[in-house]
């Protein structure tokens, strides 16, 4: 008979976690249709300053949406709200039409299928590329499970697929700390892919990259669209033009304009507040 060596309180916490997650997944909510993400009338204030002001935005299945705007427009706060780091004063945030993200914690939001990549890559420099991806595998991350876990054939195949997607096959056994800046960014995207997310949030992915790295990053993000929904926050307008189908411009915490890159670049309001002369 197999014995469960985990403390009773750890087992009860695990069971409580599962019950809470299942309840969130089953919770009925916004009848908004087939989109992946909906922010409706979201307002966030910090000491009287409205970082988000009645923000309404949606993301479609498989879409690659680029979000641009001047500093202070609310781009980071928007992603903080989606991932549970910041709770809004008003508004609703739905993942699909059944999951109320405002009812979930940050770890629970990851569990339902949302991954976020910050501007600065956060990889484990002392581990190899392969080991970083192994550590990021989707599944039970409890101490006992991680301690006893062994890679299955399916796990290895998934890691190989992500190495191919990110173009890091030749670096699989290299320490992550030895990678170039762009390669570290791709590795972190790969680590998110190991979690099998439905939605990826990517913050300024090409900051500090060489032109060659920037081009490769664009190819990578385009290859992910369709299989995943992707939201990219970026300041490099040439890069945005190369990848975006739809662009949303934020200003003072709300959507100022959205549409194709040509549409927003020709919008007088966008030219005035962001693009300049």
Q: How does strand 99-100 pair with strand 90-95?
A: antiparallel
- Which pLDDT score, from 0 to 100, does residue 97 have? 83
> Does pLDDT of 5 surpass 70?
no
The Cα 274–Cα 268 span in angstroms is 10
- Which pLDDT score, from 0 to 100, does residue 138 have? 58
The Cα 215–Cα 267 span in angstroms is 27
CB < 8 Å & 24+ apart, contacts of 30-33: 30/92, 30/94, 30/97, 30/100, 31/97, 32/58, 32/94, 32/97, 33/97
- Which pLDDT score, from 0 to 100, does residue 7 have? 45
What is the percent of the chain with per-residue pLDDT over 90, rounded to a whole number?
A: 68
CA of 235: how far to CAs of 16, 66, 113, 160, in Å?
42, 10, 26, 32
Q: What is the pTM of this model?
A: 0.82
pLDDT digits (tens, 9 = 90+) for 15-38: 554 454 444 434 434 445 678 999
> Does pLDDT of 119 surpass 90?
no
Structural domain boundaries in the chain: 61-76+106-275
Fold classification of 61-76+106-275 (topology level): Rossmann fold (3.40.50)
- Reported as a pLDDT band with limits 50, 70 and 90, residue 137 is confident
């Amino acid at each position: 008979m197999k014995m469960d060596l985990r403390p009773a309180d750890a087992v009860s916490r695990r069971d409580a976690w599962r019950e809470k997650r299942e309840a969130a997944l089953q919770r009925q909510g916004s009848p908004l249709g087939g989109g992946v993400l909906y922010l409706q009338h979201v307002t966030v204030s910090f000491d009287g300053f409205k970082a988000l002001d009645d923000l309404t935005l949606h993301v479609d299945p498989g879409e690659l949406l680029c979000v641009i705007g001047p500093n202070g427009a609310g781009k980071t706060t928007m992603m903080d709200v989606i991932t549970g780091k910041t709770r809004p004063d008003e508004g609703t945030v739905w993942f699909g039409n059944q999951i109320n993200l405002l009812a979930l914690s940050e770890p629970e939001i990851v569990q339902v299928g949302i991954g976020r990549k910050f501007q600065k890559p956060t990889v484990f420099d002392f581990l190899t590329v392969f080991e970083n991806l192994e550590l990021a595998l989707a599944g039970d991350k409890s101490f006992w499970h991680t301690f006893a876990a062994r890679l299955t054939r399916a796990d290895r195949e998934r890691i190989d697929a992500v190495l191919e997607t990110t173009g890091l096959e030749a670096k699989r056994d290299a320490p992550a700390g030895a990678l170039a800046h762009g390669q570290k960014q791709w590795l972190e995207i790969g680590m998110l892919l190991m979690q099998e997310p439905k939605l990826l949030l990517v913050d300024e992915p090409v900051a500090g990259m060489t032109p060659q790295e920037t081009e490769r990053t664009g190819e990578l993000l385009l290859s992910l669209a369709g299989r995943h929904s992707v939201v990219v926050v970026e300041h490099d307008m040439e890069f945005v033009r190369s990848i975006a189908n739809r662009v949303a411009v934020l200003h003072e915490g709300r959507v100022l304009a959205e549409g194709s890159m040509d549409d927003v670049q020709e919008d007088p309001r966008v030219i005035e507040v962001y693009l300049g002369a």
